[in-house]
Structure 1
Amino acid sequence: MVPIFSAGIYRCSVIRSPSRHILFPSTPLSAVSAATGALQVPPVGRLASKDSLSGAEETCKG
């Protein structure tokens, strides 16, 4: 079932280019302001950390 679903997603992204923006958004919707369309600064004060693979803040460095 997974290969069929993956092949469908691949075909959809190749055949219909507007579907790429829906399937793979460039930025998370929570980071975009609904009023202005610009990036919002999260309550933490920065968008991502530089020392982790995922960009999430780490409490235990490793």
Structure 2
Amino acid sequence: RFREQGKLVMVKGLCAGIFEMQQRFRGMTNALVDPFIYPEFSDRLIGKLADLKIEFWKMA
């Protein structure tokens, strides 16, 4: 949206990688073991984080 208006946008914060975002939510240990212990939950969480990241970049 902003690009179409010729505006420059600088973003920070939510731009972490998907794994980094996951470990911020779940903690490092849980982020590493969740895919093995809770694969469906882990898949849904990573999917939601990816969707959030996509929407974030669309706004920028």
TM over 0.5: no
When normalised by structure 2's length, the TM-score is: 0.31
| Greater RCO (Cα-Cα under 8 Å, separation 6 or more) | 2
Greater share of residues in helix: 2
Which one has a bigger Cα radius of gyration? 1
